[in-house]
Amino acid sequence: MTIAEEIIAFNLGLKFTGSLPENISLLNPFRDNPAIMPVVEQFYRKYYSDNKPRRMILGINPGRHGAGVTGIPFSDTKRLGEFCGIKITGFSSHEPSSVFVYDVINSFGGPRKFYNRFYINSVCPLGFTAMSAAGREVNYNYYDQRELFESAYRFIVKSIRRQIGFGFSSDVCYIMGTGANYKHMCIINEKEKLFGRIIPLEHPRFVMQYRLKKKNMYIKKYLDALK
């Protein structure tokens, strides 16, 4: 079985069985939106139909406007169409984090070269949402509440082990998010010994929202770390 088929089966089979804190909902794009799986299958079969070893890059968990829409971490419909040749009809999305990630990918040499060496997902491969005080649905991180982190812990560890089992390297893992995501992944790794070393990188959302004028500096930081 190729890595592509392993990833597709993994995504289809994702099921969170932990208890959720009050007012927190699960975001499972692979089951919530039937239009996502054809996009997911096309993407992974295009770039991962082999058994080459790759290093993992992990974000936090899927968000409502990124992987929550396309099923592919740190992507949106515009970037998938423009840079990956995957045309999506019926829905559209724009995700600032995807803009940064594809700037990194294109600076690295393009999607084919990048995905030949790396695999992007999230520490927690399913997402969460909460209702804001204004009554709006907002993204919620697996570490935002201790109760949720403890409930998601076994699911996270099992999911990462399964993905390493696809043949991905366990010597180094890159973590998107130098604050809470890095801290919690270090807690997990210290106990579970999943990776030999964890390298933190600024989260794309942080760069686009707070450090946009220094975006090129952060792209270089990514490239230096990945190379």
Own/partner long-range contacts of 185-190 (Cβ < 8 Å, ≥24 apart): 185/58, 185/123, 188/123, 188/153, 188/156, 188/157, 188/160
DSSP 143-199: TSSHHHHHHHHHHHHHHHHHHHTTT---SEEEEE-TTHHHHHHHHHHHHH---SEEE
Predicted confidence at residue 2, as pLDDT, reads: 98
What confidence score (pLDDT) does residue 67 get?
A: 82
Mean pLDDT of 71-85: 95
CATH class of the 3-139+146-226 domain in this structure: alpha beta
Of 166, 163, 165, 182, which Cα lies nearest the Cα of 174? 182
Q: Between 135 and 127, where is the model more confident?
A: 127
Domain boundaries, the chain: 3-139+146-226
To the question of pTM greater than 0.85 for the whole model, the response is yes
Three-state DSSP class for residue 106: helix
Distance of CA 152 to the CA centre of its chain: 16
CA distance 21 to 31: 21
- 59, 74 Cβ separation under 8 angstroms: yes
CA 7 distance to own-chain centroid: 13
Sign of CA dihedral 61, 66, 67, 72: negative
Check the CA dihedral 97-5-83-108 and report its sign: positive
Q: CB–CB of 93/58 below 8 Å? A: no
Q: Kindly report, residue by residue over 137-170, the tens digit of the pLDDT.
A: 999 999 999 999 999 999 999 999 999 999 999 9
- Name the average pLDDT for the chain: 95
> 64 in helix, strand or coil?
coil
Per-residue pLDDT, 157: 98
* Pick from 53, 95, 58: nearest CA to 77: 95
DSSP element (H, E) containing 43: helix 36-47
DSSP code, position 58: E
Residues present in the chain in total: 227
